[in-house]
Amino acid sequence: MQSCTGGNAVVIGGGYIAMECAASLVTNKINVTMVFPEAHCMPRLFTPKIASYYEDYYQSKGVKFIRGTILSSFEFDSNGKVTAVNLRDGSQIPADMVVVGIGIRPNTSLFEGQLTMEKGGIKVNGKLQTSNDSVYAVGDVAVFPVDLCGRIRRLEHVDSAQKTAKHVAAVIMEPEKTGEFKYLPLFYSKAFSFSWRFYGDNAGEVVHFGDYLGTKFGAYWINNGHLVGSFLEGGTEDEFKAIANATQLKPAVDDLAEVGRQGLNFAMTGNKQIKPHTPSIEAGTSSLVVETPIYPWHATAGVAVAASVAAFAYWYGRRRRRW
């Protein structure tokens, strides 16, 4: 980026990497054009209304969007440096640098014919064991049961990758004490001054709420009469925890219009009786804390041992002085 200040960058893709890189590039005074085949950015998660909000802001910062086409080839100079990208629609965009963020395909070829595959990944059970129970799979490659969704899923995000790995470590080290992996899907991102989180599953009907001309807004996903997903931009830590709690509880929803009218208050005030454990983000990343119960007798025994040691040391010291 430092070598291209004032130059042109083309970002291929409209997902996480593309959106976050585009924000950093334009902040560093580089002209940015984003190219992706879908109708709007973040199509696997964002609704058109949510996407429009972010795209409008990016455009106000100078980012250009080219939708509905893809990269077909590069142009290079005699030194092998990229000078332009050619798009399938026939257009050409000058480029001093290119970022290609078009997603991943899990590399499972090593295990073909040895482990059970499903949905493009390695199928695991609730303890993240594969069809060979001495082999575990974690992260983007693992297809595991998600209770909230009522089905197995393969998730591509750092939060899932870290927490599945930590759970497998616990399963291996303390198999008798470690139960099945219970996970509330969490996706989050920060770019410019934005900070959003999504919990759950984006299935069913969508109810938008909040001020889409301001800085705090969100959406709920209602599937089969229950809340299954929640999105919030610009929330406080308490507000993010509230939508996580509400999503985990899957409350029944009879009136979509009423939920939209209540907006964030639906999560803030509607589920205070029950407060299940919810995922949290700490210091810019995510963490899963394995809590070990502390029993009163542990403390009592510790105090007794410490007192005994101190008494012996005092007695022994007096004897040494007499000698």
Residue scoring higher pLDDT (132 or 287):
132
Q: What is the DSSP string of 180-206?
A: ------EEEEEETTEEEEEEE---SEE
Instruction: Write out the DSSP string of 100-156.
Output: E--------GGGTTTS-EETTEEE--TT-B-SSTT-B--GGGEEEEETTTTEEEE--
Query: Strand 92-94 to strand 285-287: parallel, antiparallel, or no bridges (unpaired)?
Result: unpaired
What percentage of residues in the chain have a pLDDT greater than 70?
A: 83
Structure confidence by residue, pLDDT tens digits, 66-87: 999 999 999 999 999 999 999 9
The string of DSSP letters for 237-294 reads HHHHHHHHHHHHH--B-S-HHHHHHHTHHHHHHHT-S------EEETTEEE---PPP-
CB half-sphere exposure, 281, CA atoms < 13 A:
22
What's the confidence (pLDDT) of residue 269?
86
Q: For residue range 246-291, what is the model confidence (pLDDT) as tens digits?
A: 999 999 999 999 999 999 999 998 655 444 434 444 333 332 222 3
Per residue in 144-193, pLDDT (tens digit) is 999 988 889 999 999 999 999 999 999 999 999 999 999 999 999 999 99
* Range 186-271: architecture per CATH: 2-Layer Sandwich (3.30)
Q: Where are the domains of the chain?
A: 8-100, 117-173, 186-271
pLDDT at 126 over 60: yes
Q: Do domains 8-100 and 186-271 have the same CATH topology?
A: no
- Kindly report the backbone phi and psi dihedral angles of residue 295, in degrees, each rounded to the nearest multiple of 5, phi listed first: -95, 145
The full length of the chain comes to 323
More confident residue, 123 or 306: 123
317 pLDDT tier (thresholds 50, 70, 90): low
Residue-averaged pLDDT of the chain: 87
> For residue 272, how many C-alpha atoms fall within 13 Å in the half-sphere facing its CB?
7
In this prediction, residue 104 carries a pLDDT of: 87
Q: pTM score, two decimals?
A: 0.80
Lowest mean pLDDT among 49-58, 62-71, 201-210, 307-316: 307-316
Q: For 281-307, what is each residue's pLDDT tens digit?
A: 433 333 222 233 333 444 444 434 444
Please state which architecture CATH assigns to domain 8-100.
Answer: 3-Layer(bba) Sandwich (3.50)
d(CA 148, CA 110): 31
